[in-house]
């Protein structure tokens, strides 16, 4: 398993409820690709959303995000962290 | 206090030691701007680095990052998180 940070652009105006619903939609199916979404942070002003996950691959992260209705614009492995 | 995600581009090839040294340089002076750097994640392949902090403002985050020698390319308040 590796850690990934994915980024969604264009989510301007996202609300706390919408972020929670999107996260729940990921959690509901994530085990089918062996992904674990850990955290998500959103900036409603700029529309940037960041999701931290553990997954076997970036493709697995994207499969879950796509099936949940919100494909990521960038997915980066982040093997280094402090 | 608010939470911020800042992003550094162009850090291709960053090593674990370099990430730790950069983080320590922030920690050493962060209290002077009432910033608390919490986590950082790096993708040496693409050169993206993400830093999560609590701070009174984006300007305070940038002051510390600049003084530590690594100004951020983007700083986003992330008032929403899960």
Q: B28-78: per-residue pLDDT in tens?
A: 999 999 999 999 999 999 999 999 999 999 999 999 999 999 999 999 999
Which pair of structure tokens corresponds to residue B60? 């305070």
B20: helix, coil or strand? Answer: helix
ipTM: 0.94
Test A78 with B43 for CB contact under 8 angstroms. yes
Point out which residues pair with B6 in neighbouring strands: B51, B75
Q: Which residues from B are below 8 Å from A when comparing CB atoms?
A: 3, 5, 14-16, 19-20, 23, 39-46, 48, 50, 52, 74, 76-82
Taking CA atoms, A62 is separated from A1, A33, A35, A58, B5, in Å, by 15, 10, 10, 6, 21
Q: What residue spans define the domains of chain A?
A: 2-77
Classify residue A2 as exposed, middle or buried by CB count within 10 Å of its CB (0-12, 13-18, 19+). Answer: middle
Q: Which residues from A are below 8 Å from B when comparing CB atoms?
A: 3, 5, 14-16, 19-20, 23, 39-46, 48, 50, 52, 74, 76-82
Angle of CA points A75, A77, B1, to nearest 5°: 80
CATH class of A2-77: alpha beta
Task: State the average pLDDT over residues A52-81.
Answer: 98
Q: What are phi and psi of B6, to 5 degrees?
A: -115, 155
């Amino acid at each position: 398993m590796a850690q990934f940070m994915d980024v969604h652009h264009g989510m301007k105006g996202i609300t706390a409820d919408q972020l929670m619903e999107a996260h729940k939609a990921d959690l509901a199916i994530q085990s089918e690709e062996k992904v674990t979404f850990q955290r998500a942070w959103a900036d409603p002003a700029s529309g940037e959303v960041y999701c931290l996950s553990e997954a076997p691959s970036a493709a697995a992260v994207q499969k879950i995000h796509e099936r949940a209705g919100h494909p990521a614009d960038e997915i980066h492995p982040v093997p280094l962290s402090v």
